[in-house]
């Protein structure tokens, strides 16, 4: 059981570069989420999706875009990276057919220099 | 907008003592779910316990229990007989059915002293 897999695990970007983070889940979940976690802080919701082809903004969406073309994949894009986007990014998925809890990926540590 | 508040940035507890981590939430929805997650220093997010807004009984999972007080909008986590391995960050979260998004509090860093 792979669960939720994030690619890549680490990345260093230069200011202004673009990149895409991939989240893949094999649990047939409808809901998927992208969060960022800054040192000593909680998880802040960037964007989320409640089904294939749908996306919605979370608490801190600026500077990010997302796509959910396939049910199992949720992509997070940074079009022009900024140092303020240095963070650990977590993807999660939930509901149904497993229980109510969200399953998390292992995180992606992104540094923008 | 939904908001989750954890007022204790850090807690220090002696091993084998019980500890209560506070969480309050703010929503006008009637249907929601409350969660607690543990994040050890290795960084992964570990699900601990869940409480549905319509559940009449407080949820329990082994040494973890959730003290759910709906009228006060609080969902405190109680860890009984704490162990050194309980040292971690603990996050409270809520899934509001109407908004269908999962939001987290700021977290509490729990340190268990031997």
B66-92 pLDDT, tens digit each: 999 999 999 999 999 999 999 999 999
pLDDT band of B96, cuts 50, 70, 90: confident
Paired tokens of B15 = 């091993």
B/e letters for A6-39, b = 16+ CB within 10 Å, e = fewer, are: beeeebebeeeeebebebbbebebbbbbbbbbee
Report how far residue A42's alpha carbon sits from residue B106's, in angstroms, rounded to the nearest whole number.
4
Of B33, B41, B12, whose CA–CA distance to B99 is shortest?
Answer: B33
Span A62-90, average pLDDT? 97
Residue numbers in A near B33 (CB within 8 A): 100
Report how far residue A16's alpha carbon sits from residue A7's, in angstroms, rounded to the nearest whole number.
20
Query: Residues B102, B96: contact at Cβ < 8 Å?
Result: no
Q: Which residues neighbour B84 within 8 Å (Cβ) at sequence distance 6 or greater?
A: B15, B112, B114
Paired tokens of B38 = 């543990």
Query: Which pairing describes strands A108-112 and A10-13: parallel, antiparallel, or unpaired?
Result: parallel
B33 touching A (Cβ < 8 Å): yes
Partners of residue A92 on adjacent β-strands:
A33, A104
Report how far residue A25's alpha carbon sits from residue A102's, in angstroms, rounded to the nearest whole number.
11
pLDDT band of A97, cuts 50, 70, 90: low
Q: Average per-residue pLDDT in chain A?
A: 94
B44/A50 touch (CB, cutoff 8 Å), yes or no: no
User: What does the DSSP 8-state code read for residue A86?
Assistant: -
B47 touching A (Cβ < 8 Å): yes
At residue B72, the pLDDT reads 95
B106/A41 touch (CB, cutoff 8 Å), yes or no: yes
Residue numbers in B near A58 (CB within 8 A): 101
Residue numbers in A near B42 (CB within 8 A): none
pLDDT band of B28, cuts 50, 70, 90: confident
Paired tokens of A20 = 């895409």
Span A22-44, average pLDDT? 93
Residue numbers in A near B93 (CB within 8 A): 102
Q: How many CA atoms lie within 13 A of A53 on its CB side?
A: 0
Q: Average per-residue pLDDT in chain B?
A: 94
B/e letters for A60-71, b = 16+ CB within 10 Å, e = fewer, are: ebeebebebeeb
Query: Measured between CA atoms, how close is A105 to chain B, in angstroms?
Result: 8
Of B63, B50, B46, whose CA–CA distance to B95 is shortest?
Answer: B50
Q: What percent of chain B has pLDDT over 70?
A: 98
- Scanning every residue of chain A, which has its alpha carbon at the shortest distance from the alpha carbon of B10? A40
B50 touching A (Cβ < 8 Å): yes
């Amino acid at each position: 059981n792979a669960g939720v897999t994030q690619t890549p695990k680490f990345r260093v970007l230069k200011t202004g570069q673009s990149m895409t983070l991939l989240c893949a889940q094999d649990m047939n979940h409808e809901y998927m989420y992208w969060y960022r976690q800054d040192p000593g802080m909680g998880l802040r919701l960037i964007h989320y999706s409640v089904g294939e082809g749908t996306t919605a903004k979370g608490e801190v969406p600026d500077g990010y875009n997302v796509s959910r073309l396939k049910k199992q994949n949720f992509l997070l894009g940074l079009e022009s990276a900024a140092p303020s986007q240095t963070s650990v990014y977590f993807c999660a998925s939930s509901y149904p057919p497993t229980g109510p809890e969200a399953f998390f990926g292992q995180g992606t540590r992104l540094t923008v220099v | 907008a939904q908001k989750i508040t954890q007022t204790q940035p850090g807690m220090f507890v002696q091993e084998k003592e019980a500890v209560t981590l506070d969480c309050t939430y703010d929503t006008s929805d009637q249907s929601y779910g409350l969660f607690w997650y543990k994040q050890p220093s290795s960084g992964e997010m570990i699900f601990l316990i869940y409480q549905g807004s319509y559940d009449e009984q407080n949820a329990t999972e082994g040494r973890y229990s959730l003290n759910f007080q709906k009228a006060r909008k609080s969902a405190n986590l109680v860890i009984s007989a704490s162990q050194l391995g309980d040292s971690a960050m603990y996050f409270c979260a809520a899934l509001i059915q109407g908004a269908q998004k999962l939001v987290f509090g700021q977290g509490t860093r729990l340190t268990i002293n031997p």
